[in-house]
């Protein structure tokens, strides 16, 4: 906090600050999953395929992931609130353009590009402002808990809300709904005050931003190309890995020269934070991947419409909501490492049930137990993972770690939709049951990687709360 006047203003009504920040996280997470129940409607209306819709969803998530680190860095140069408001405006324009899209190309521009860029600008300020404006350990933990829970609820409820809107009006109305929420956030956010003035003289690593974004885009595009041309896919992934290596080499070179890079290597010196980032990536990979696989299977193979698909996902939403609301009480009784580990175990058990109960039966109820467990497991560990990562650094690095944390999470969402979606789409017309099971096995393997990371978390560090 820079002065007592700012402190007084922000202390008047913490809820007035938290509501727009939490709503922003909700709508961005909602946007990443609500299109899953519109696959048939969009593909029919825009004369495209399931793979075409998968590309739109994955590119949206990838744009967020690729630009989240630069977005976090820009908050120091231009101010947190200014970036937050600009991101909201760009996102709103993208939502309205998507609602009016006459074809897949315009939908990609509106949803994948503009909404993705807007999200990359507005999400880092959400976490930075929360860290700066909620100074007490308990208050900050509750604020992070609310924001993380809203993110998880947005992702889990996206299919239900999107299905209801699509069935009642059309898939285009779901984008109008997003624009209305964005307008509400802009109105509520006028009361937020940036606690630290912007520093226009702060350098910005343009070259690093280009390299990091290009590397991520190439790598994930390679995953999407796997079912079309294996050699092209491998080439793209190899090129992406090479560009990312170039990016990190340039970061080390700039630091040795005393030049501020896009991403400080100090962010990777904490074992606790590194392991926490792995768990975040795995959690969002599971959430996005399962949402896409189950929704696509229900619509393309079982022939369910948007609202029927959304209703089935109510089980996941209910589980996530219940465990998220209990997160604060659970945190008082158990170390964060234990909560994250338990969350992965419950989520993996849910994936096993989705495979075991769905195979060989057409009953709609066969999806409910697995989705319920997945929601409970994810809701229990989303907040602790954020606390583990954010809490490993002091306030001076919160801008960078917030951008890195959100980038890793959104990259997980991209991987989930790209990898599991590619496995599913490759066999959904010829061997749908087998493709469905194989896609979920891939997701379960990612869950095991996240679980292994929790076993390495230091006991004393895992229970820390974010600190300033």
DSSP labels, 279-327:
HHHHHHHHHHHHHHHHHHIIIIIS---HHHHHHHTHHHHHHHHHHHHTH
> What digits encode the pLDDT tens for the residues 19-48?
999 999 999 888 878 888 888 899 999 998
> What digits encode the pLDDT tens for the residues 164-205?
898 889 999 999 999 999 999 999 998 888 877 777 878 888
> What digits encode the pLDDT tens for the residues 73-104?
888 888 888 999 999 999 999 999 999 999 99
- In a domain, residue 378? The reply is yes
Q: Which residue has the higher pLDDT, 157 or 327?
A: 157
Q: With 50 as the cut, is the pLDDT of residue 9 above it?
A: no
224 and 324 together in one domain? no
Length of the chain: 468
Of 89-98, 268-277, 305-314, 370-379, where does mean pLDDT reach its minimum? 305-314
**Average pLDDT score over residue span 259-271:** 85
309 and 393 together in one domain? yes
- In a domain, residue 2? The reply is no
180 and 249 together in one domain? no
Q: What predicted TM-score, i.e. pTM, was given to this entire model?
A: 0.78
Q: Which residue has the higher pLDDT, 446 or 199?
A: 446
Q: Of 261, 285, 308, which residue constitutes the final position of a domain?
A: 261
Tell me the C-alpha distance between 80 and 71, whole Å.
Answer: 10
Instruction: Say how many domains are in the chain.
Output: 2
- List the domain range (segments joined by +) for residue 232: 205-261
CATH number, domain of 363, equals 1.20.1250.20
240 and 285 together in one domain? no
**Average pLDDT score over residue span 196-219:** 85
Question: What local confidence, expressed as pLDDT, does residue 310 receive?
Answer: 83
Question: What local confidence, expressed as pLDDT, does residue 278 receive?
Answer: 93
- In a domain, residue 131? The reply is yes
Tell me the C-alpha distance between 208 and 194, whole Å.
Answer: 27
144 and 239 together in one domain? no
**Token pair recorded at residue 247:** 């990016």
Q: With 60 as the cut, is the pLDDT of residue 5 above it?
A: no
Angle at 235 between CA 232 and CA 236, to 5 degrees: 90
273 and 310 together in one domain? yes
- Per-residue confidence band for 326, with pLDDT thresholds at 50, 70 and 90: confident
DSSP 60-114: HHHHHHHHHHHHHHHHHHH-HHHHHHHHHHHHHHHHHHHHT-SSHHHHIIIIIII
For the CA atoms of the chain, what is the radius of gyration? 21
- Per-residue confidence band for 136, with pLDDT thresholds at 50, 70 and 90: low
> What digits encode the pLDDT tens for the residues 139-155?
766 777 778 778 877 87
- Per-residue confidence band for 398, with pLDDT thresholds at 50, 70 and 90: low
Q: With 50 as the cut, is the pLDDT of residue 466 above it?
A: no
Nearby residues of 89 by Cβ (< 8 Å), 6 or more positions away: 118, 186
- In a domain, residue 108? The reply is yes
Q: With 50 as the cut, is the pLDDT of residue 320 above it?
A: yes
- In a domain, residue 199? The reply is no
358 and 255 together in one domain? no
> What digits encode the pLDDT tens for the residues 343-374?
999 999 999 999 988 776 777 788 889 999 99
Question: What local confidence, expressed as pLDDT, does residue 58 receive?
Answer: 81
DSSP 255-291: HHTT---SS-GGGGS-HHHHHHHHHHHHHHHHHHHHH
Question: What local confidence, expressed as pLDDT, does residue 1 receive?
Answer: 41
- Per-residue confidence band for 433, with pLDDT thresholds at 50, 70 and 90: confident
**Average pLDDT score over residue span 386-393:** 77
Q: Nearest to residue 189, comparing CAs of 61, 115, 73, 92?
A: 92
> What digits encode the pLDDT tens for the residues 41-76?
999 999 988 888 888 988 888 888 788 888 888 888
- Per-residue confidence band for 8, with pLDDT thresholds at 50, 70 and 90: very low
446 and 403 together in one domain? yes
């Amino acid at each position: 906090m820079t002065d007592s006047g700012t402190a007084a203003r922000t202390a008047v009504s913490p809820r007035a600050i938290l509501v727009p920040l939490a709503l922003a996280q909700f709508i961005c997470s909602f946007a990443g999953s609500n299109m899953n129940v519109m696959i048939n409607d969009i593909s029919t209306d825009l004369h495209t395929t399931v793979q075409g819709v998968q590309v739109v969803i994955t590119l949206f998530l990838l744009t967020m992931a690729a630009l989240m680190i630069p977005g976090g860095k820009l908050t120091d140069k231009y101010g947190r609130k200014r970036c937050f408001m600009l991101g909201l405006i760009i996102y709103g324009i993208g939502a309205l353009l998507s609602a009016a899209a006459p074809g897949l190309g315009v939908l990609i521009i509106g949803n994948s590009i503009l909404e993705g860029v807007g999200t990359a600008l507005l999400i880092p300020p959400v976490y930075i402002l929360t860290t700066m404006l909620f100074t007490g350990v308990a208050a900050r933990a509750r604020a992070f808990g609310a924001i993380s829970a809203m993110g998880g609820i947005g992702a889990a409820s996206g299919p239900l809300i999107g299905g209801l809107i699509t069935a009642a009006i059309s898939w285009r109305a779901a984008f109008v709904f997003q624009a209305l929420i964005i307008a509400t956030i802009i109105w509520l956010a006028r009361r937020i005050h940036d606690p630290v003035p912007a520093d226009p003289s702060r350098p910005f690593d343009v070259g690093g931003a280009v390299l990091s974004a290009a590397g991520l885009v190439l790598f994930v595009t390679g995953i999407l190309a796997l079912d079309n041309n294996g050699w092209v896919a491998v080439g793209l992934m190899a090129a992406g890995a090479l560009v990312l290596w170039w990016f990190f080499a340039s970061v080390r070179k700039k630091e040795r020269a005393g030049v501020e890079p896009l991403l400080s290597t100090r962010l990777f010196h904490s074992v606790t934070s590194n392991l926490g980032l792995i768990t975040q990536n795995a959690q969002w990979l599971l959430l996005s991947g399962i949402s896409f696989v189950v929704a696509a299977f229900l619509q393309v193979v079982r022939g369910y419409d948007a609202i029927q698909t959304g209703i089935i996902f109510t089980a996941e939403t209910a589980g996530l909501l219940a465990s998220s609301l209990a997160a604060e009480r659970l945190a008082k009784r158990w170390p964060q490492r234990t909560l994250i580990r338990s969350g992965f175990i419950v989520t993996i058990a849910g994936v096993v049930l989705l495979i075991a109960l769905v195979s060989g039966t057409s009953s709609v109820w066969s999806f409910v137990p697995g989705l319920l467990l997945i929601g409970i497991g994810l809701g229990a560990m989303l907040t602790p993972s954020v606390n583990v990562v954010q809490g490993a650094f002091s306030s001076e690095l919160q801008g960078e770690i917030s951008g890195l944390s959100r980038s890793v999470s959104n990259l997980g969402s991209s991987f989930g939709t790209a990898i599991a979606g590619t496995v599913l789409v490759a066999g959904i017309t010829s061997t749908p049951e087998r493709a469905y099971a194989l896609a979920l096995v891939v997701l379960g393997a990612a869950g095991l990687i996240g679980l292994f990371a929790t076993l390495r978390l230091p006991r004393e560090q895992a229970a820390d709360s974010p600190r300033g």
